[in-house]
Structure 1
């Protein structure tokens, strides 16, 4: 999708929430409302100090607790308000939610492998990745349009939702979204506005390499 009028030079920072207990247990969270661990709060505080240096103009976030608490760390430093939107929630994955990675592979092996091949799969009877992009990408686009020239929007969301949103904004075929890889807790990706639309400037930035512990790994 096109980023808007040529020359506006805006940026989108897509920031994944901090660590939760379910991340450590490799338990699929989806739309289950899990809080940050103490480590997750510390991760958010550290990352917020770095992201504040980008002088963001606006912050939007998923209304799930793990994303909302992460966003508040940046809000407290920048003085910006956070706009919460349920359209930025993680993928709803039905029966997969609350299950560990091992349990999912054991009980839904064919479904899991099909998803990893890039096929459209309703994991656990939940949402398709394209449906997640259908609800999340327009939220981001609406808020980007409110930015001044050269402005920066920070989007605080979830690994799977961020990946599908990036894929949609870059105009990539949904079967290739897996090639973007996951985001570690409290890391981010940056899209910049170019003459032909959005470009991926950074991916999974913010730290030395860490394991990706999340629903999209």
Structure 2
């Protein structure tokens, strides 16, 4: 079983470092271009199933891949980005000003820190990690022997990377997660194994690294 894990294309909020979380932001023009290039890069690859987060930035990216291949698109809400509660919709600088204690805990990688409530109720990183990895493994186990393309978010890709490399949740994120990047895993005895990370040769110019 093979998993092609893809981050959605760029949004306007990615470009200005505004936190999205569960807020439903569409791709910008660059993100749409990236999605087209991604679809072309995957056109000749054997893929049995295409699955996306239910947020539109992921759905738009996945739909470009599905449309070019003439395949249906399956939606999996478990692949959503982490919910950041009251942080959502704010620039990083605004989060630090409005919620200094919560911002400090977030930056210090307190994986059980409670986020302030906003339009949505925030998740701790531990809660989010459990949700995202359960969704990925559940899809993989339900489609044993197949190749699945999953289109999700920076945080979801981070969770998969940490699981595959057995990285503690508290360690800093010292690896990049690029928009519209291709990241390859396989399942071995029920565990994720990383095959390649951060394939972006199909994208020009260089893609934007951002958290969500």
Give 1:172 shift: 3.2
Pairing 1:152–2:147 present: yes
Q: Which runs of 5+ in 1 are unaligned?
A: 1-9
| Equivalent residue number for residue 199 of structure 1 | 193
1:70 counterpart SS class: helix
Q: Is the 8 A contact 1:44 1:70 kept in 2?
A: yes
Give 1:195 shift: 6.4
Q: TM-score, normalised by structure 1?
A: 0.83
| Equivalent residue number for residue 124 of structure 1 | 116
Q: Which of 93, 96, 100 is residue 102 of structure 1 equivalent to?
A: 93
1:183 counterpart SS class: coil
C-alpha separation in 2, matches of 1:78 and 1:204: 23
| Equivalent residue number for residue 162 of structure 1 | 157
Between the two proteins, the alignment pairs up a number of residues equal to 204
Q: Pick which of 27-36 and 158-167 moved more.
A: 158-167
Q: TM-score, normalised by structure 2?
A: 0.85
Tell me: CA distance 1:170–1:152, structure 2 relative to 1, closer, same or farther (3 Å).
farther
C-alpha separation in 1, matches of 2:69 and 2:166: 32
Root-mean-square deviation over aligned CA pairs: 2.2
**Superposed counterparts of 1:152-191, under 5 Å:** 152-176=147-171, 178-179=172-173, 181-191=175-185
| Equivalent residue number for residue 21 of structure 2 | 30
Q: Which runs of 5+ in 2 are unaligned?
A: none
